[in-house]
């Protein structure tokens, strides 16, 4: 039995309706987590409907396995990154799927499991390691990143992923502190953050934002998203749908831009007599503006507050 997996899935009805599930649909839940969205998808498909669930976190795969056991062989789960979805499908002998769901970021279970180090918890900061690996098979932790990253890299992450005022000051301070002693625990990092007097953002403590920035950098979440979108779009049959839930503005920008480019096709300048980029129109957008949770969902599940859902349909290849 895995620890109780406490993650409330976000915008479930909207994800399910955007996927436009057929009775016998084959859907990939590329971020299966605790299996909340996956269960809703399997409940709404018939006895021949199947789901392939991926997560790079071994605990999530185990929790989803328990939660989805009642669906028997309609479910297959893999500890795998969605970056490599196409390879996985190829290995399984699957040419195309009817839908792909990407519910990005971390689960509440990951955030709330203190020893994973995804967020700082004042009461246990001294003993919480700076880990933050989503895939426990990876060898590099956040402590390693803080030891090895250049001052410029640190500054860039704190600016781009945390929108932090004082990003340069914090980056400089980390570099000088780590010369004296390595930063190993949440408390070590917290002390540097507090002494750097960083700020920005009304909703979250600066440490929450710094931890988030390090997590995004360590797990290369934006690079994985670029690759994952390509893999998801490439895996869809004509008429298949891709649905993405983003929680960070940098993620949502990537999704929005990618969908727009896929809707536009050729990106050659108008003066080119023939297309040189070779891009065709692959997607039709299902909505112009992202869907956001209603206030009652946010009241029930405050972590849904920043969610933005975008969805698109794969078009047939032009002849």
Ligand X SMILES: C[S@@+](CC[C@H](N)C(=O)[O-])C[C@H]1O[C@@H](n2cnc3c(N)ncnc32)[C@H](O)[C@@H]1O
Q: How far is CA 164 from the centre of its chain?
A: 21
Nearer to ligand X, 56 or 235 (CB): 56
Nearer to ligand X, 4 or 319 (CB): 4
**Residue 136 C-beta: closest distance to ligand X, Å:** 10
In whole angstroms, give the CA distance from residue 61 to residue 101.
Answer: 16
The residue within the footprint of ligand X, chosen from 27, 28, 36, 258 (CB under 6 A), is: 36
Tell me if 178 sits within 8 A of 151, measured CB to CB.
no
207 binds ligand X (CB under 6 A): no
Q: State the Cα angle at 318 between 101 and 230, rounded to 5°.
A: 30
Structure-token pair, residue 309? 């859902």
Tell me if 148 sits within 8 A of 139, measured CB to CB.
no
**Residue 223 C-beta: closest distance to ligand X, Å:** 9
Contacts to ligand X from residues 94-133, by CB under 6 A: 103, 105-107
Q: Which residue of the chain is nearest ligand X when measured via CB? A: 33
Say how many residues touch ligand X, by CB under 6 A.
22
**Residue 287 C-beta: closest distance to ligand X, Å:** 20
**Residue 76 C-beta: closest distance to ligand X, Å:** 15
Per-residue interface string for the shown chain with ligand X, residues 246-275, x marking contact by CB under 6 A: ------------------------------
82 binds ligand X (CB under 6 A): yes
The residue within the footprint of ligand X, chosen from 11, 16, 21, 60 (CB under 6 A), is: 60
235 binds ligand X (CB under 6 A): no
Candidate segments 81-89, 122-130, 158-166, 277-285, binder of ligand X by CB under 6 A: 81-89
Provide the binding-site residues for ligand X, judged by CB under 6 A.
7, 9, 31, 33-37, 54-57, 60, 81-83, 103, 105-107, 134, 224
């Amino acid at each position: 039995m895995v620890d109780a997996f406490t993650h409330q899935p976000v915008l479930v009805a909207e994800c399910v309706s955007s996927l436009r599930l057929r009775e016998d649909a084959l859907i990939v839940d590329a971020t299966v987590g605790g299996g909340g969205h996956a269960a809703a998808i399997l409940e709404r498909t018939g006895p021949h409907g199947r789901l392939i669930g991926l997560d790079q976190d071994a605990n999530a795969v185990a929790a989803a396995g328990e939660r989805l056991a009642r669906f028997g062989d309609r479910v297959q789960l893999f500890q795998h990154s969605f970056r490599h979805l196409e390879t996985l499908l190829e290995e399984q002998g699957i040419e195309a799927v009817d839908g792909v769901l990407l519910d990005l970021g971390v689960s509440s279970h990951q955030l709330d499991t203190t020893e994973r180090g995804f967020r700082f918890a004042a009461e246990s900061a001294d003993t919480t390691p700076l880990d933050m690996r989503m895939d426990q098979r990876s060898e590099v932790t956040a402590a390693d990143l803080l030891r090895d990253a250049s001052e410029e890299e640190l500054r860039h992450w704190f600016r781009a992923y945390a929108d932090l005022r004082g990003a340069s000051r914090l980056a400089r301070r980390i570099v000088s502190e780590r010369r004296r002693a390595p930063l190993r625990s949440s408390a070590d990092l917290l002390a540097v953050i507090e002494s750097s007097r960083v700020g920005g953002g009304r909703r979250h403590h600066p440490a929450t934002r710094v931890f988030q920035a390090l997590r995004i950098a360590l797990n290369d979440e934006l690079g994985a998203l670029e690759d994952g979108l390509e893999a998801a779009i490439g895996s869809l049959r004509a008429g298949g749908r891709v649905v993405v839930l983003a929680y960070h503005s940098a993620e949502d920008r990537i999704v929005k831009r990618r969908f727009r480019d896929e809707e536009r096709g050729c990106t050659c300048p108008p003066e080119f007599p023939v297309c040189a980029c070779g891009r065709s129109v692959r997607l039709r957008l299902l909505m112009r503006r992202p869907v956001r949770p209603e206030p009652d969902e946010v009241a029930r599940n405050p972590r849904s507050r920043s969610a933005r859902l975008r969805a698109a349909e794969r078009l047939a290849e032009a002849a």
